[in-house]
């Protein structure tokens, strides 16, 4: 596990994300899922990476992988299927350290949730709207959220942000 340096000693200043990478067990299945979720977006697919230098950069003895990329307006999503070495499935959950989630901003969570549910997407629970006093100091009451998983269990979220959760 990596320990973080003290912020008083260093400030790197990263301000923009390029992409998020999601390891998947079946690239074709995951591409189909994300195409249904994201709509008609160009997808760069069936790209591959391999080689000892690349493997070393990831802390692996060898690596061979296939990947596909979806470019959203503000972020790329790389779906990555490791073919060598094949990793063990993770058990992601919101409360497990090291788990992450990818959040999609929408205007109306309840409407998108209904469309997705009708199309066959499963959700972890019903959509939720934060009430006053639940989020401090963000004053984000009125923010709507709903949570679901991709085929490999990656945590995904819909959000219609209000107050302190809304970005300028």
User: How confident is the model over 28-41, as pLDDT tens digits?
Assistant: 999 999 999 998 77
Same domain, residue pair 69 and 114? no
Same domain, residue pair 114 and 158? yes
pLDDT tens string 23-77: 999 999 999 999 999 987 788 877 888 888 888 898 999 899 999 999 999 999 9
The model carries a pTM of: 0.87
Residue 61 within a domain: yes
Overall number of domains in the chain: 2
For residue 63, the domain's CATH number is 3.10.180.10
The parent domain of residue 146 ranges over 101-165
Single out the residue in 84, 117, 139 at which a domain terminates.
Answer: 84
Residue 25 within a domain: yes
Long-range contacts of 88-97 (CB under 8 A, 24+ apart): 89/25, 89/152, 89/153, 90/23, 90/153, 91/153, 92/149, 92/153, 92/154, 92/155, 93/155, 94/147, 94/155
């Amino acid at each position: 596990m990596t320990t973080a340096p003290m912020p008083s000693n260093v400030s790197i200043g990263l301000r923009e994300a390029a992409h998020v990478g999601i390891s998947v067990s079946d690239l074709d299945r995951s591409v189909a899922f994300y195409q249904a979720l994201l709509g008609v977006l160009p997808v760069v697919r069936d790209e591959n990476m391999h080689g000892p230098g690349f493997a070393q950069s990831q802390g692996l003895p060898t690596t061979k992988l296939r990947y596909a990329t979806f470019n959203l307006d503000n972020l790329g999503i790389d779906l990555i299927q490791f073919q060598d070495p094949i990793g063990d499935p993770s058990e992601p959950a919101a409360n497990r350290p090291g788990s992450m989630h990818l959040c999609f901003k929408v205007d109306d969570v309840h409407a998108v949730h209904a469309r997705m549910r009708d199309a066959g997407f499963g959700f972890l629970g019903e959509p939720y709207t934060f009430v006053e006093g639940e989020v401090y100091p963000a004053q984000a009451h009125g923010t709507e959220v709903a949570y679901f998983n991709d085929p490999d269990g990656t945590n995904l979220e819909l959000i219609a942000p209000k107050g302190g959760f809304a970005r300028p």
